[in-house]
Copies of this chain bind each other. A is one copy, B any other.
Amino acid sequence: MNLPPLIQAFVLHFGEMGSRWGINRTVGQIYALLYVSPVPLNADQIVEALGVSRSNVSMGLRELQAWNLAIPKHVPDDRRDHFTTPGDVWEILRVLAEERKKREVDPTLSVLRELLMMAPASEAERHAQHRMAEMHGLIEQLTTWYDEVKRLETERLAQLLALGSRVARIVEATDKVVSLGRPRKRKE
């Protein structure tokens, strides 16, 4: 690997982190490299920078493209493919959330739904199904929320984040005046 120390440290860290979820080291490193690069890079430049094989880079780029985390960028007068990451960090967050939902949450939801349709054949199964229903309910709440929130523009989203738990107080206050959606029982 042949990189300025600051960049190398960043790239190595992403390689490590990569393996902590399902992604492999090289993919993590490629992503990190693209992320900090001021210009789109082609595969050979990545090979050069990371010291891995050409084919490994090819596969890594493919995986990153599947995640929408590497974007092919055509450079005029150059036949080789060049790649960047989505530039805006908020955009990256959105892409990540979307992809992970698609891969991790949606399949679970659909399995749960399927299992909840089945007739339990024993007390054990009845109980299990009840637990599955709880899980299903929670995940559905979360995804519904996510689907709504993801439509917000970045600036408004940032505003909400900045408010943090203080929204709760506002909501509580507003609660007394405006009626939003179906009524719900008051806590205190």
Contact = CB atoms under 8 A, between A and B. Distances in A.
Interface in A1-51: 4-7, 9-10, 13, 17, 19-22, 35-38
Contact of A6 (B120, B147, B160): B120
A176 B137 CA distance: 36
B20 A128 contact: no
Contacts of A137: 89
Interface stretch (A57-65, A73-81, A102-110): A102-110
A161 B137 CA distance: 12
B108 A13 contact: yes
A127 B174 contact: no
A120 B5 CA distance: 9
B180 A164 contact: no
Interface string A143-166: 011011101110110111111111
